[in-house]
């Protein structure tokens, strides 16, 4: 487990900006409106398709942190994000994501819970299951870098 979080330096938070965490129901796939409070890793394509990209973000306000897994569908067809998709964190912000159909051209985020008192050292990873094929964000990052 320590190795998995060591891979996540790209989305670790060491300095937090004053602002609100993202607001969406935990586990729900919702539109994404990122701002300077979002600290994200790069998009990596899912092993199922180079047209389905995902990344993990941490949203912080200096008092609380929330993890968000963002998925974009650049394909010309919809894809099913299966219910086993999830966010794992090192700060108690783990979250299972609801099953969802991601339409062609859509970008959506699965929002983890806001965890109070997390101000530094937060890390997160995402497990995305698309059309019944799963891949961890850290695995996609290692495969493409």
Domain boundaries, position 24:
2-7+18-144
13 in a domain, yes or no? no
Number of Cβ atoms within 10 Å of the Cβ of 120: 12
CA dist list (Å): 80 to 46, 58, 61, 103: 13, 24, 32, 9
12 in a domain, yes or no? no
- Dmax over CA atoms of the chain, in Å, equals 42
Give CA–CA dist 75/34, Å, rounded.
22
* Cβ within 8 Å of residue 30, ≥6 positions away: 24, 108, 109, 111
Token pair listed for 71: 């998925």
38 in a domain, yes or no? yes
99 in a domain, yes or no? yes
DSSP reduced 3-state for 135: strand
CATH at 52:
2.60.40
Q: Mind listing the pLDDT tens digit of every residue in the chain (145 residues)?
A: 433 333 343 343 333 333 455 666 677 899 999 999 999 999 999 999 999 999 999 999 889 999 999 999 999 999 999 867 888 999 988 989 989 999 999 999 999 998 999 877 899 999 999 999 999 999 999 989 7
The pLDDT of residue 127 is: 93
Question: What is the Cα gyration radius of the chain?
Answer: 14
Number of domains comprising the chain: 1
């Amino acid at each position: 487990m320590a190795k998995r979080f060591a891979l996540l330096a790209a989305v670790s938070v060491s300095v937090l900006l004053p602002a609100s965490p993202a607001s969406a129901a935990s586990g729900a796939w919702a539109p994404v409106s990122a701002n300077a409070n979002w600290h994200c890793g790069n998009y990596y394509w899912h092993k199922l398709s180079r047209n389905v990209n995902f990344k993990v973000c941490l949203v912080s306000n200096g008092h609380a942190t929330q993890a968000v897994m963002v998925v974009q569908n650049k394909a010309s067809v919809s894809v099913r994000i299966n219910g086993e998709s999830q966010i794992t964190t090192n700060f108690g912000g783990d979250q299972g994501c609801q099953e969802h159909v991601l339409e062609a051209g859509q970008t959506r985020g699965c929002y983890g819970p806001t965890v109070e008192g997390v101000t530094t050292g937060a890390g997160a990873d995402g497990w995305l299951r698309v059309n019944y094929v799963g891949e961890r964000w850290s695995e996609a990052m290692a495969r493409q870098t």
